[in-house]
Structure 1
Amino acid sequence: MTDVISLWRTDIDPLYTSVRACVITTVLIAILLTFVVASW
């Protein structure tokens, strides 16, 4: 798994960091939606 702290380090390319943040956020939302749908 990716270290969360390394995700926000300023020495990493900002665009690359933003893309990784968006991907992780999308995955978390997808997992959340899966649990919501499963709870129906």
Structure 2
Amino acid sequence: MMGALAFYTVTGIIYSESVLAIIHFILAAERLSIGFETFVR
């Protein structure tokens, strides 16, 4: 039981970390494209 609990905890941490990383990447990409568009204009 403890092994399963530890596994779920670790999986949850990794999953939430990757989701945060993806969100940061999307926000950074949007900000970069907006800045690039204004720079080109």
TM-score (norm: length of structure 1) = 0.68
Unaligned runs of 5+ in 1: 1-11
Identity, in percent, stands at 17
Unaligned runs of 5+ in 2: 1-10
The structure richer in helix per residue is: 2
The count of aligned residue pairs is 29
Partners of 1:15 and 1:35 in 2: CA distance? 30
Partner of 2:21: 22
Give the superposed CA RMSD. 1.4
TM-score (norm: length of structure 2) = 0.67
Larger Rg: 2
